């Protein structure tokens, strides 16, 4: 069981960082797998490498089919045990076989190239492998200083030809303060810790094993870790490992297009997601040449470590058109006194028009109970795609039992992109199925609710729209909720909210008044847990129409049909056969509601 928990934890960790780009590099002089205990043990070397999980390894001092190694292809045996691809290059003939260097990698190289390097005591070599995103070179320098300096010039020429990041790793047989290493660092950045010695392995005194990157083509990166591994026996060198977090391509950074929320009180909220946590802001203006920049500041600090971004633009002019773009920058390393920034992604420009506070006309679309059925939504949207609308309401149970951020993101993005949410604001009213499952509490991260609550009210011109949240359709003590719900308190809060709203000047002065919530009180088949609390207030409230959902059956209840004092319309279900979409149209003193099914048939058209 403990092992199972460790596996599950590892999988969770991988899923959390998988969008980030990590590259682990390693170099290891393995001494032909001959340990300091006098035992030749290929499995021991392979275990060291496998446990470190590198992407690519530079390996030095390797026999291939020699007499002293018993005719073994040593690199091949290490690769088989470490489950990696092997590339070998001999530097010299030796004892009936070859002796040289090699590379191990998780993915197969696109190509490899080898070249000779000078060596007076024995010939040396450079082995280069190209991968999708970088080149990696392995070498083992001569014991003679002049040869090492000459080798460096050959490597410079090789690295300068590459347009990809070029990494160099190996046993350079020189210490950090040497003339050759100082010369190397003019063009290469050393990535491993020079203060950690690598040789001899039982009690290291000198640093002679290195991992470096060519400065001219180095990616944006931060060193996530750099280690000299605590392995004193397997070889006379200790293995060196460096893990880099490299900047992702800005073209890959955005996970969703931006979508508009909460277009009230002279403001507009712009939301979007990135595939990694990022530092984000919005650039906006009445044209694209003079832009203001807005970011989210929390207690004096800019938010920088979220993948769901919510930026509020305030003090916008009624009826004004604005242009905007969203921007996100990766932060590769964040420490108290040191930050390393990655690439910045900037979206194309989008635009929106702020609601006109004095308008007497608008058009809205209302969807409900989609339950993540894409075919149902597409069939409905096909019927109204040519309508010129000002905002969209998703009246509950559109996201079904959210279990993860991925699930929520996928469907929120589908809905908002389909209804042109980058320029037309959307409102999401919570249904009972959006309350269920493990990610339900996280779902509000994807929305900016009016007033910060799942219920509220706002004006669109001279029309007042009131949105309520009924909560679950079962009592809080229901066994399936395990004592984790308290919707009783939420419903009581809304009693106070309704009293204040119905008495407010905004409500009383409105030309038309619309009530929206998911579970109906009038015409409900079964009990609504809000009824005893809300109905005494709603019975007397002068709404022009109430629009609901939940029952999966389209219904129209004219005044008095269910003891209702205003018309009540209930949307259909989640199947193409019973689904509906509503068009809410206000023109001067007239309010019209049209209900269509997925074939385009008009089921209802009323004028108030």
pLDDT tens-digit readout, 422-431: 999 999 999 9
* SS3 category, 145: helix
Preceding amide of 200 cis, omega within 30: yes
- Residue 133 confidence (pLDDT): 96
Q: Stretch 479-495: mean pLDDT, rounded?
A: 94
Name 386's Cβ contacts closer than 8 Å, sequence gap at least 6: none
* SS3 category, 160: helix
CB-based contact 229:192 (threshold 8 Å): no
Q: How far is CA 302 from CA 88, 222, 278, 330, in A?
A: 50, 21, 11, 14
Mean pLDDT of the chain: 95
pLDDT digits (tens, 9 = 90+) for 369-397: 999 999 999 999 999 999 999 999 999 99
Torsion of CA 71, 74, 75, 77, to 10 degrees: 100
Please count the other Cβ atoms lying within 10 Å of the Cβ belonging to residue 7: 10
Residue 525 has pLDDT above 90, yes or no: no
CB-based contact 428:262 (threshold 8 Å): no
Q: Among 14-23, 70-79, 140-149, 411-420, name the one with the lowest average pLDDT.
A: 14-23
Of 540, 531, 464, the closest CA to residue 494 belongs to 531
In this structure, the chain runs to a length of 608
CB-based contact 258:309 (threshold 8 Å): no
Looking at per-residue pLDDT, the higher value among 36 and 479 belongs to 36
Of 315, 605, 264, the closest CA to residue 463 belongs to 264
pLDDT digits (tens, 9 = 90+) for 89-138: 999 999 999 999 999 999 999 999 999 999 999 999 999 999 999 999 99
Q: What is the CATH number of domain 250-353?
A: 2.60.40.10
C-alpha span between 130 and 315 (Å, rounded): 53
Provide the sign of the torsion angle of the four alpha carbons 34, 39, 40, 45, taken in this order.
Answer: negative
Output phi, psi for 343, to 5 deg: -75, 160
Q: Stretch 398-412: mean pLDDT, rounded?
A: 96
Output phi, psi for 450, to 5 deg: -60, 125
Residue 16 has pLDDT above 70, yes or no: no
Tokens 């979220």 correspond to 306
CB-based contact 312:294 (threshold 8 Å): yes
pLDDT digits (tens, 9 = 90+) for 554-589: 999 999 999 999 999 999 999 999 999 999 999 999
Of 356, 375, 291, 353, the closest CA to residue 326 belongs to 291
CB-based contact 538:560 (threshold 8 Å): no
Q: Stretch 17-29: mean pLDDT, rounded?
A: 85
Q: Among 14-18, 276-280, 408-412, 485-489, name the one with the lowest average pLDDT.
A: 14-18
Multiple choice CATH, 361-607, 3.40.50.620, 3.90.45.10, 3.40.50.2300, 3.60.21.10: 3.60.21.10
Per-residue exposure over 255-278, b if at least 16 CB sit within 10 Å of its own CB, e if not: bbbbbbbbbbeeebbbbbbbbbbb
Report the chain's C-alpha Rg in angstroms. 33
Residue 10 has pLDDT above 60, yes or no: no
Residue 18 has pLDDT above 90, yes or no: no
Q: Stretch 239-260: mean pLDDT, rounded?
A: 97
**How far is Cα of residue 78 from the mean position of the Cα atoms in its chain?**
37
pLDDT digits (tens, 9 = 90+) for 310-354: 999 999 999 999 999 999 999 999 999 999 999 999 999 999 999
Per-residue exposure over 570-595, b if at least 16 CB sit within 10 Å of its own CB, e if not: bbbbbebebbbbbbbbbeeeebebbb
C-alpha span between 224 and 220 (Å, rounded): 13
Enumerate the domain spans of the chain. Answer: 18-246, 250-353, 361-607
How sure is the predictor about 17, in pLDDT bands with cuts at 50, 70 and 90? very low
Q: Stretch 471-480: mean pLDDT, rounded?
A: 91
pLDDT digits (tens, 9 = 90+) for 354-364: 999 999 999 99
Task: Record the pTM.
Answer: 0.89
Residue 14 has pLDDT above 80, yes or no: no
Q: Stretch 163-168: mean pLDDT, rounded?
A: 98
Q: What is the CATH number of domain 18-246?
A: 3.60.10.10
Provide the sign of the torsion angle of the four alpha carbons 49, 54, 60, 65, taken in this order.
Answer: positive
Of 397, 425, 439, 442, the closest CA to residue 551 belongs to 397
Instruction: Answer yes or no: same fold for 18-246 and 250-353.
Output: no
- Residue 9 confidence (pLDDT): 36
């Amino acid at each position: 069981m403990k092992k199972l928990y460790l596996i599950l934890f590892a999988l969770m960790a991988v899923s959390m960082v998988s969008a980030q780009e990590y590259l682990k590099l390693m170099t290891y002089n393995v001494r032909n797998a001959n340990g300091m205990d006098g035992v030749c043990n290929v499995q021991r070397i392979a275990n060291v490498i496998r446990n470190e999980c590198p992407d690519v390894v530079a390996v030095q001092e390797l026999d291939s089919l020699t007499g002293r190694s018993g005719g073994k292809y040593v690199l091949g045996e290490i690769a088989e045990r470490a489950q990696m691809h092997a590339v070998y290059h001999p530097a010299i003939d030796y004892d009936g076989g070859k002796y040289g260097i090699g590379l191990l990698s998780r993915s197969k190289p696109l190509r490899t190239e080898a070249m000779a390097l000078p060596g007076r005591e024995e010939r040396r070599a450079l082995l280069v492998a190209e991968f999708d995103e970088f080149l990696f070179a392995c070498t083992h320098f001569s014991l003679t200083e002049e040869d090492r300096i000459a080798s460096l010039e050959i490597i410079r020429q090789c690295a300068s030809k590459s347009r990809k990041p070029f990494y160099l790793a190996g046993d350079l047989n020189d210490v950090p303060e040497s003339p050759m290493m100082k010369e190397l660092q003019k063009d290469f950045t050393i990535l491993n810790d020079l203060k950690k010695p690598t040789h001899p392995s039982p009690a290291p005194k000198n640093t002679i094993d290195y991992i470096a990157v060519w400065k001219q083509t180095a990616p944006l990166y931060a060193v996530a870790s750099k280690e000299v591994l605590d392995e004193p026996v397997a070889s006379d060198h200790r293995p060196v490992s460096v893990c880099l977090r490299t900047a992702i391509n800005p073209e890959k950074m955005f996970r969703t297009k931006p979508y508009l929320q909460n277009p009230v009180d002279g403001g507009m909220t712009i939301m979007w997601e990135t595939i990694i946590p990022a530092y984000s802001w919005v650039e906006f203006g009445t044209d694209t040449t003079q832009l203001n920049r807005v970011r989210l500041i929390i207690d004096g600090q800019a938010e920088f470590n979220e993948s769901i971004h919510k930026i509020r633009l305030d003090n916008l002019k009624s009826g004004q058109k604005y242009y905007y773009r969203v921007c996100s920058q990766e932060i590769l390393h964040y420490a108290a006194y040191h930050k390393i920034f990655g690439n910045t992604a900037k979206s194309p420009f989008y635009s929106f028009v702020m609601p006109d506070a004095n308008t007497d006309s608008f058009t809205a679309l209302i969807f409900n109970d989609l339950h993540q059925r894409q075919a149902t939504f597409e069939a409905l949207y096909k019927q109204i795609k040519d309508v010129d609308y000002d905002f969209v309401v998703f009246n509950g149970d559109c996201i079904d039992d959210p279990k993860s951020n991925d699930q929520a993101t996928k469907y929120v993005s589908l809905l908002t992109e389909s209804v042109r949410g980058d320029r037309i604001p959307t409102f999401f009213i919570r249904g009972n199925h959006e309350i269920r499952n493990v990610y339900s509490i996280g779902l509000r991260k994807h929305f900016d609710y009016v007033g910060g609550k799942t219920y509220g009210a706002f004006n669109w011109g001279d029309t007042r729209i009131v949105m309520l949240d009924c909560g679950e359709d079962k009592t809080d003590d229901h066994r399936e909720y395990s004592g984790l719900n308290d919707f009783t308190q939420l419903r009581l809060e809304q009693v106070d909210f309704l009293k204040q709203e119905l008495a407010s000047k905004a409500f009383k002065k409105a030309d038309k008044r619309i009530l929206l919530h998911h579970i109906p009180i009038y015409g409900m088949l079964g009990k609504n847990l809000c009824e005893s609390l809300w109905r005494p207030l709603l019975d007397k409230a002068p709404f022009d129409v109430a629009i609901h959902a939940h029952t999966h059956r389209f219904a129209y209840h004219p005044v008095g049909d269910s003891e209702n004092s205003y018309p009540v319309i209930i949307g259909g279900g989640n199947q193409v056969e019973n689904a509906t979409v509503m068009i809410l149209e206000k023109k001067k003193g007239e309010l019209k509601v049209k209900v269509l099914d997925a074939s385009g048939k008009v089921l209802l058209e009323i004028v108030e």
